[in-house]
Amino acid sequence: MSPQVWQILEGCDRIVLTLLAATVPVDTGEIWHQAAVPIPRNAVFHEINQLLYEAEVQLMTWAIGNCDRQNPRPQEGLATQYRRRTPADSEIDPAKSLSDVFDLLRVSDPVRYPAYFRHRNRTFRISIAPLDS
């Protein structure tokens, strides 16, 4: 579902990861622990994923050390759900400025859902990468 991509496209600069009980329907279980992950506004796909991966490992480590000493709490409010991303969600409008499409460029998966644009009867892949990495 890629909620982090949708959240970044909404303008979020922080993603909250939640360790919750597995239930049906999905994402309705009790909350065991949470981690807020700051996402720099210039981070690109692989950097964002690395930050989230590190936070996931921290949540798992917390679970191993605390699950028998902590009680989960119920979720409050309605869950936010995002639709599944498709290749069409990575289409760039070539008439827009680079600043306008920057967030879409930086969150597009360069392998599975690369950013692309159509121009002069062809489709072109487009990607960005920091020069300092």
Number of domains in the chain: 1
> Percent of the chain scored above 70 by pLDDT?
98
- Length of the chain in terms of residues written: 133
CATH number (domain holding residue 25): 3.40.50.12230
- pLDDT tens column, 32-67: 999 999 999 999 999 999 999 999 999 999 999 998
pTM assigned to the model: 0.90
Assigned domain for 106 exists = yes
The Cα-based distances of 29 to 79, 116, 117 in angstroms read 11, 37, 40
The whole domain housing 65 covers: 3-72+83-126
pLDDT attached to residue 78: 81
